[in-house]
Amino acid sequence: MKIKLLPIYLTIAVMAILQSCSKDDDNDGVKQSAVTLSIVNPDDLSSVTYADLSVSFKELNTGKVTQNSSFTGNNLSITLPEGSYEVSIDGKIKYSADGSAAEASVSGYKESVVITGSNASVSLNVFLKTTQSDFVIEEVFFTGTRTAEGKQYLGDKYFRIYNNTDKVLYADGLIIAQSEFMTTDKQDYTPNIMAQAFAAAAVAVVPGTGTTYPIAPGEYFIIAEDAINHKEYNPNSMDMRTAKFEFYTEDTDDVDNPAVPNMENLFSSMVIHNRGFRSFVIARMPSTVTKTAYLTDYTYDYEYNLVFGGESYPMGESVYKIPNTWIIDAVNLSVESEFQWIVTAPVLDMGWTYCGKVDSDATRYGKSVRRKTLSTASNGKKILKDTNNSTLDFTPEAKPSLMN
């Protein structure tokens, strides 16, 4: 059979149609939006100019990340497929405050930004990044371990707190708190105080008189759930007798090591969520606020409507809040299959980290989240990465340092 050749002009037309179809197929028929991103300056600043701005758009359904740095002043124009996005931004700022010129780094974050229609507008608040002058959370071991028989073992969780500065710091009075809200359950809490304070389900304080527990630059200390040799009961666990402090609750079956000072439970007892659904902060209470005054003046009463089975049930709770200005470091934890939101202000942490990809992931046991090292000095002192974005700052599913 002979093949009949198409005239050259018809061949070109067919190729053009095929290329057009191919282009449509590449976009999978997704409509495009012309997006205008506008930066909202930090409060109380004037004469603001930006430099080295870079924005990242992550589409939540596909995971595709689009980056751009073509800003004109406070605005950027970009074309994106319709979808739901996480938007983050980093850069530098020059400004005036109280009559003085200054420079700083800035960052911003916004979750669940729905982009639809031929044109879309997005506003994004940016925040000043403060210079690190206190401790950081170096590691959280929240998953626990399993016994040789495969049973869940309790009591061997811990926090590792690091002096990331060039001066001696005192652990005395340091607050560690677990979030009231879960990163896997977003509700419309009223009043919403997240921009001003952290809602805490448990608050514990390091004991001491102010200069009892010095921590040298580049050194760390461990706060253990139970400061005992867990290997005696579970060979897959760790010896935590060298911990600096431990959590302890009286009138329970909690184990107490009398050789290790107990954390003071200021509000509730620290029961560390072993799937990583809650977040943690460390903070310092101002010298003008006593513990008694805190328990009197910093309560947080909130309400929300729990929707279940098509019915709405009014709910409420009374807990405590920690002002964001007291907080020196934060880490949001979650799990990919269940993540809904971060439960800190983005100025504290605009990302999250994890152990386990799904809820109740059996592979999470014996893993921790560990902060990355930014650099190491000639004397061996590490500088840990701290961009206020746990997604970037932490290694997820890491080997716990106490297992090394």
Give the residue numbers spanning the domain of 78.
32-128
Lowest mean pLDDT among 31-45, 82-96, 101-115, 266-280: 101-115
18 belongs to a structural domain: no
Question: Tens digits of per-residue pLDDT, 62-109?
Answer: 989 999 999 999 999 999 999 999 898 888 888 887 777 888 888 888
Last residue of a domain, one of 75, 98, 128: 128
Assess whether 320 and 371 both reside in one domain: yes
Assess whether 353 and 379 both reside in one domain: yes
268 belongs to a structural domain: yes
pTM of the model: 0.77
Assess whether 63 and 150 both reside in one domain: no
> What is the spatial distance between Cα 207 and Cα 90, in angstroms, rounded to a whole number?
37
Task: Say which residues have a Cβ less than 8 Å from residue 309's Cβ, sequence separation at least 6.
Answer: none
Residue 24 φ/ψ region, left for φ over 0, alpha for ψ in the -120 to 50 degree band, beta for the rest: alpha
6 belongs to a structural domain: no
Which pLDDT value is given to residue 132? 64
Which pLDDT value is given to residue 27? 53
Question: What's the pLDDT band for 304 if we cut at 50, 70, 90?
Answer: very high
Assess whether 238 and 351 both reside in one domain: yes
Tell me the average pLDDT of the chain: 90
26 belongs to a structural domain: no
- Count how many domains the chain has: 2
Q: How many CA atoms lie within 13 A of 317 on its CB side?
A: 12
Assess whether 212 and 90 both reside in one domain: no
Question: Tens digits of per-residue pLDDT, 199-212?
Answer: 999 999 999 999 99
Assess whether 52 and 92 both reside in one domain: yes
Assess whether 90 and 165 both reside in one domain: no
> What is the spatial distance between Cα 35 and Cα 127, in angstroms, rounded to a whole number?
22
